[in-house]
Amino acid sequence: MLFQAILIVFALFAIAKTSKMYKQQKVSVYWFMVWTFFWLVVITVSIWPTTTDIVAGWVGVEKGADLLSYSAIVVLFYAMYRVMAGQERQNKELTDLVRKIAIMEAKKPGSRGENK
């Protein structure tokens, strides 16, 4: 019971924080809705934990806790992949930008790689 209460309070805090960020235009309406939905699901599962067993039965997993663990692992790996792919893209864009700036600087009149 204590863990459920802590989880619900944390989820409500997260919804409030997400709402504040949305109002400050730090997150889009899409991400606001995604995160709000996620935290509402967390609250629902906290109040009625047997709902995960029902969903697990539909997808062929024995227990709801197992389904949550498997899903969390898959989602975290996918998120890690997305972060790494984004970082690679940013590295390439930064490299391209630095090259363009270096070429522009080299083409300036009187510029021969000398320190100014």
Four-residue CA torsion sign, 8, 14, 16, 19: negative
pLDDT at 20 > cutoff 60? yes
pLDDT at 12 > cutoff 90? yes
Which one has a higher pLDDT value, 104 or 108? 104
* Percentage of residues of the chain with pLDDT beyond 90: 84
pLDDT at 93 > cutoff 90? yes
Domain ranges of the chain: 1-48, 63-110
Reference 38, options 60, 12, 61; nearest CA is: 12
Mean pLDDT of the chain: 92
**In which band, very low, low, confident or very high, does the pLDDT at 114 lie, cut at 50, 70 and 90?**
low
Between the CA of residue 9 and those of 24, 63, 101, what are the distances in Å? 23, 25, 50
